[in-house]
Structure 1
Amino acid sequence: MMMERSNMEFVDRTIASCRDTRDICVETVMHGIKMGGERSQMDVLGVLMDAAGIAELCERYMLRGSPYLRRIIPAADEVFDSAARTCDTIRGDEFFATAAKSLRNTASNLRQIG
């Protein structure tokens, strides 16, 4: 019984992590648009929008216990890794640093589920 509760708590934290990552990616996109320059390049913003979308998808799949989540996780991991590496190229910007950290944390959580 204790293990089941622990697993449920981990899934709840992962759902929250997906939600936070989605929000952080959207905020970072808005920040990038506002700041302009390299932060507003479509390759930078596009991968963050993709990460926000797949984070939301993972959240919804977990909330309803979809059996297809395990198929989505590898794609999410790839997108999150790409987005985090892209964020790393924007040096000295706290929004992008926060997004990279959130992306990596959520990817790690999802890998443990998948």
Structure 2
Amino acid sequence: MLRFAIFTIAALALGGCANDRVVGGALIGGGAGAVVGGVATGNVGGAAAGAAIGAVGGAIVADATDPRPGVKCVRRGYDWYGNPVCFAVAVPADYHRGDYVVYYQDGGVGRRFFGY
């Protein structure tokens, strides 16, 4: 029983991550891993090992599926008819989540890049 408590505390420690998404993934993965490990082995040690492995897997999957920031319009303007258009957009760079790369529209003023 002490071993189960230690592994449960270790699984909850993985829950002390950066955001709620990773915490939820770790808790869901830990719970599912404990059920599968307990059913597969029939003892507390298997449930504890399943909880630890499931918590790590759940945290990794939750972090990997984190939604990335969207496209931002950095240069707004109006076309010939007075409709708002976006002439330059900043999209997230692939190498770092916080950086943005700016792409400019080449072409006439009347062409729409994005409809806002």
Asked whether the two chains share a fold, i.e. TM above 0.5, the reply is: no
TM-score where L is the length of structure 1? 0.31
The structure with the largest helix share of the pair is 1
The structure with the largest strand share of the pair is 2
Tell me: higher relative CO, structure 1 or 2? Use CA pairs within 8 A at least 6 residues apart. Answer: 1
TM-score where L is the length of structure 2? 0.31
